[in-house]
Amino acid sequence: MDKVAVITGTRKGIGRFLVDHYLAQGYRVAGCSRGPMGEDIDNYLHYELDVSDERAAMRMLNSVMGTWGRVDVLLNNAGIASMNHVLLTPLKTVEQIFSTNVFGTFVFAREAAKHMSKGKFGRIVNFATVATPLQLEGEAAYAASKAAVKSYTQIMARELAPLGITVNAVGPTPVDTDLIRGVPKAKMDALLARQAIPRLGTCEDIANVIDFLVDERSDFITGQTVYLGGVS
Protein backbone atom coordinates (compact mmCIF):
# COMPACT_ATOMS: atom_id res chain seq x y z
CA MET A 1 0.00 0.00 0.00
CA ASP A 2 1.25 3.50 -0.86
CA LYS A 3 2.68 5.49 2.02
CA VAL A 4 0.90 8.61 3.23
CA ALA A 5 2.65 11.90 3.93
CA VAL A 6 1.08 14.83 5.75
CA ILE A 7 2.67 18.18 4.94
CA THR A 8 1.73 21.52 6.51
CA GLY A 9 1.95 24.85 4.70
CA THR A 10 1.52 23.45 1.20
CA ARG A 11 -0.04 26.27 -0.81
CA LYS A 12 3.27 27.80 -1.93
CA GLY A 13 7.02 27.85 -1.48
CA ILE A 14 8.81 24.88 0.05
CA GLY A 15 5.58 23.15 1.04
CA ARG A 16 4.22 23.26 -2.49
CA PHE A 17 7.48 21.83 -3.81
CA LEU A 18 7.35 19.01 -1.27
CA VAL A 19 3.84 18.05 -2.37
CA ASP A 20 5.02 17.43 -5.94
CA HIS A 21 8.24 15.83 -4.71
CA TYR A 22 6.50 13.16 -2.65
CA LEU A 23 3.68 12.57 -5.10
CA ALA A 24 6.37 11.81 -7.67
CA GLN A 25 7.77 9.19 -5.27
CA GLY A 26 4.42 7.44 -5.10
CA TYR A 27 3.17 8.84 -1.81
CA ARG A 28 -0.38 9.91 -1.22
CA VAL A 29 -0.18 13.39 0.26
CA ALA A 30 -2.45 15.40 2.55
CA GLY A 31 -1.62 19.06 2.94
CA CYS A 32 -2.98 22.16 4.57
CA SER A 33 -2.74 25.92 4.52
CA ARG A 34 -4.88 28.90 5.43
CA GLY A 35 -6.08 29.22 1.84
CA PRO A 36 -7.16 26.97 -1.03
CA MET A 37 -4.68 25.08 -3.17
CA GLY A 38 -6.22 26.46 -6.34
CA GLU A 39 -6.01 23.24 -8.33
CA ASP A 40 -7.05 19.60 -8.18
CA ILE A 41 -4.14 17.19 -7.83
CA ASP A 42 -4.33 13.41 -8.07
CA ASN A 43 -3.64 11.57 -4.80
CA TYR A 44 -3.63 14.86 -2.88
CA LEU A 45 -6.08 16.03 -0.20
CA HIS A 46 -6.12 19.68 0.81
CA TYR A 47 -7.44 21.13 4.06
CA GLU A 48 -7.90 24.82 4.79
CA LEU A 49 -6.97 25.51 8.40
CA ASP A 50 -4.69 27.28 10.85
CA VAL A 51 -2.07 24.76 12.00
CA SER A 52 -2.34 26.02 15.58
CA ASP A 53 -6.07 25.22 15.68
CA GLU A 54 -6.00 22.04 17.74
CA ARG A 55 -9.47 20.81 16.80
CA ALA A 56 -8.91 21.50 13.10
CA ALA A 57 -5.62 19.58 13.17
CA MET A 58 -7.31 16.64 14.88
CA ARG A 59 -10.15 16.65 12.33
CA MET A 60 -7.68 16.74 9.44
CA LEU A 61 -5.60 13.80 10.67
CA ASN A 62 -8.71 11.79 11.54
CA SER A 63 -9.99 12.49 8.02
CA VAL A 64 -6.71 11.32 6.47
CA MET A 65 -6.89 8.12 8.51
CA GLY A 66 -10.51 7.61 7.49
CA THR A 67 -9.65 8.07 3.81
CA TRP A 68 -6.31 6.30 3.50
CA GLY A 69 -6.01 4.33 6.75
CA ARG A 70 -2.49 5.40 7.68
CA VAL A 71 -0.07 8.25 8.31
CA ASP A 72 3.59 7.40 7.68
CA VAL A 73 5.32 10.76 7.37
CA LEU A 74 4.70 14.22 8.81
CA LEU A 75 6.57 17.26 7.51
CA ASN A 76 5.93 20.27 9.77
CA ASN A 77 6.78 22.84 7.12
CA ALA A 78 4.30 25.63 7.98
CA GLY A 79 6.07 28.65 9.42
CA ILE A 80 6.09 32.43 9.57
CA ALA A 81 8.83 34.96 10.28
CA SER A 82 9.18 38.65 11.02
CA MET A 83 12.32 40.75 10.90
CA ASN A 84 12.29 43.47 13.53
CA HIS A 85 14.54 44.91 16.20
CA VAL A 86 13.38 43.52 19.54
CA LEU A 87 12.48 47.03 20.74
CA LEU A 88 10.14 47.44 17.77
CA THR A 89 8.48 44.01 17.90
CA PRO A 90 4.88 43.99 19.15
CA LEU A 91 3.86 41.15 21.45
CA LYS A 92 1.12 40.24 18.97
CA THR A 93 3.78 39.50 16.34
CA VAL A 94 5.64 37.22 18.74
CA GLU A 95 2.39 35.43 19.61
CA GLN A 96 1.62 34.87 15.93
CA ILE A 97 5.10 33.48 15.25
CA PHE A 98 4.96 31.09 18.19
CA SER A 99 1.39 30.08 17.39
CA THR A 100 2.34 28.82 13.93
CA ASN A 101 5.93 27.71 14.42
CA VAL A 102 5.73 26.13 17.87
CA PHE A 103 2.10 25.39 18.71
CA GLY A 104 1.31 24.22 15.17
CA THR A 105 4.33 21.92 15.17
CA PHE A 106 3.38 20.58 18.59
CA VAL A 107 -0.25 19.84 17.70
CA PHE A 108 0.45 18.16 14.36
CA ALA A 109 3.34 16.08 15.72
CA ARG A 110 1.31 14.92 18.70
CA GLU A 111 -1.75 13.98 16.66
CA ALA A 112 0.22 12.35 13.83
CA ALA A 113 2.21 10.30 16.34
CA LYS A 114 -1.01 8.90 17.82
CA HIS A 115 -1.90 7.45 14.42
CA MET A 116 1.66 6.38 13.57
CA SER A 117 1.93 4.46 16.82
CA LYS A 118 -0.80 2.06 15.67
CA GLY A 119 1.52 0.77 12.95
CA LYS A 120 4.70 1.03 15.04
CA PHE A 121 6.25 3.19 12.32
CA GLY A 122 6.50 6.89 11.66
CA ARG A 123 8.79 9.63 10.44
CA ILE A 124 8.34 13.18 11.71
CA VAL A 125 10.47 16.00 10.31
CA ASN A 126 10.14 19.43 11.88
CA PHE A 127 11.54 22.66 10.48
CA ALA A 128 14.26 24.58 12.30
CA THR A 129 16.35 27.45 10.86
CA VAL A 130 19.97 28.58 10.65
CA ALA A 131 18.77 31.85 12.22
CA THR A 132 18.99 30.11 15.60
CA PRO A 133 22.66 28.99 15.62
CA LEU A 134 23.68 32.16 13.76
CA GLN A 135 21.84 34.31 16.34
CA LEU A 136 20.65 36.65 13.61
CA GLU A 137 19.89 40.19 14.69
CA GLY A 138 16.33 41.22 13.85
CA GLU A 139 15.03 37.67 14.08
CA ALA A 140 14.83 37.20 17.86
CA ALA A 141 11.23 35.94 17.91
CA TYR A 142 11.63 33.73 14.84
CA ALA A 143 14.93 32.22 16.01
CA ALA A 144 13.53 31.66 19.51
CA SER A 145 10.48 29.89 18.12
CA LYS A 146 12.68 27.55 16.11
CA ALA A 147 14.92 26.94 19.13
CA ALA A 148 11.79 25.71 20.86
CA VAL A 149 11.11 23.43 17.88
CA LYS A 150 14.63 22.00 18.13
CA SER A 151 14.20 21.23 21.83
CA TYR A 152 10.77 19.72 21.21
CA THR A 153 12.28 17.56 18.47
CA GLN A 154 14.98 16.21 20.79
CA ILE A 155 12.64 15.33 23.64
CA MET A 156 9.81 14.00 21.50
CA ALA A 157 12.34 11.74 19.76
CA ARG A 158 13.08 10.07 23.08
CA GLU A 159 9.42 9.71 24.01
CA LEU A 160 8.38 8.24 20.66
CA ALA A 161 11.35 5.95 20.01
CA PRO A 162 9.68 2.95 21.70
CA LEU A 163 6.79 3.35 19.26
CA GLY A 164 8.96 3.05 16.15
CA ILE A 165 8.68 6.77 15.37
CA THR A 166 11.71 8.94 14.63
CA VAL A 167 11.62 12.71 15.07
CA ASN A 168 14.22 14.92 13.41
CA ALA A 169 14.46 18.47 12.08
CA VAL A 170 15.93 20.17 9.04
CA GLY A 171 17.33 23.68 9.38
CA PRO A 172 17.28 25.44 6.02
CA THR A 173 19.36 28.42 5.04
CA PRO A 174 17.44 31.24 3.34
CA VAL A 175 15.58 29.96 0.28
CA ASP A 176 14.17 32.17 -2.48
CA THR A 177 10.55 32.16 -1.27
CA ASP A 178 8.10 34.79 -0.01
CA LEU A 179 9.58 34.42 3.47
CA ILE A 180 12.76 36.34 2.52
CA ARG A 181 11.66 38.58 -0.36
CA GLY A 182 11.52 41.67 1.87
CA VAL A 183 15.06 41.25 3.19
CA PRO A 184 17.50 43.93 1.89
CA LYS A 185 20.18 42.53 -0.43
CA ALA A 186 23.06 43.80 1.73
CA LYS A 187 21.66 42.02 4.78
CA MET A 188 21.11 38.82 2.83
CA ASP A 189 24.64 38.89 1.40
CA ALA A 190 26.07 39.34 4.90
CA LEU A 191 24.01 36.40 6.16
CA LEU A 192 25.10 34.10 3.32
CA ALA A 193 28.73 35.02 3.97
CA ARG A 194 28.45 33.41 7.42
CA GLN A 195 27.68 30.02 5.86
CA ALA A 196 30.46 27.61 4.89
CA ILE A 197 28.76 27.38 1.49
CA PRO A 198 27.67 30.98 0.81
CA ARG A 199 24.61 30.64 -1.38
CA LEU A 200 20.86 30.55 -1.08
CA GLY A 201 19.42 27.14 -0.39
CA THR A 202 16.99 25.44 -2.75
CA CYS A 203 13.90 23.35 -2.24
CA GLU A 204 15.88 20.42 -3.66
CA ASP A 205 18.50 20.85 -0.91
CA ILE A 206 15.80 20.57 1.73
CA ALA A 207 14.05 17.62 0.08
CA ASN A 208 17.37 15.77 -0.13
CA VAL A 209 17.78 15.88 3.66
CA ILE A 210 14.14 14.97 4.28
CA ASP A 211 14.38 12.01 1.90
CA PHE A 212 17.21 10.65 4.02
CA LEU A 213 15.41 11.23 7.33
CA VAL A 214 12.12 9.61 6.26
CA ASP A 215 13.72 6.57 4.66
CA GLU A 216 12.83 3.28 6.35
CA ARG A 217 16.55 2.57 6.70
CA SER A 218 17.02 5.71 8.84
CA ASP A 219 15.47 4.05 11.88
CA PHE A 220 18.58 4.63 14.03
CA ILE A 221 18.60 8.40 13.44
CA THR A 222 16.38 10.46 15.72
CA GLY A 223 16.48 13.67 17.74
CA GLN A 224 18.81 15.33 15.22
CA THR A 225 18.67 18.78 13.66
CA VAL A 226 20.47 19.00 10.31
CA TYR A 227 21.44 22.57 9.41
CA LEU A 228 22.21 23.27 5.77
CA GLY A 229 24.97 25.40 4.30
CA GLY A 230 27.66 24.31 6.74
CA VAL A 231 26.08 26.07 9.71
CA SER A 232 26.29 24.41 13.13
CATH of the domain at 210: 3.40.50.720
Phi-psi region of 43 (alpha: psi -120 to 50; beta: other; left: phi over 0): left
Q: How many domains does the chain have?
A: 1
- Residue 96 covered by a domain: yes
- Domain of 36 in residue numbering reads as 4-227
Neighbours of 7 (CB within 10 A): 29
Q: What is the pTM of this model?
A: 0.96
Could you read off the pLDDT of 23-62 as tens digits, one per residue?
999 999 999 999 999 899 999 999 999 999 999 999 999 9
- Residue 104 covered by a domain: yes
- Residue 188 covered by a domain: yes
- Residue 36 covered by a domain: yes
* Sheet of 28-33, strand order: 44-48, 28-33, 4-8, 73-76, 122-127, 165-171, 225-227
* Least reliable range by pLDDT among 16-20, 42-46, 188-192: 188-192
Share of the chain above pLDDT 70, in %: 99
- Residue 146 covered by a domain: yes
- Return the H-helix or E-strand segment holding 75: strand 73-76
- Residue 232 covered by a domain: no
Could you read off the pLDDT of 93-118 as tens digits, one per residue?
999 999 999 999 999 999 999 999 99
- Residue 196 covered by a domain: yes
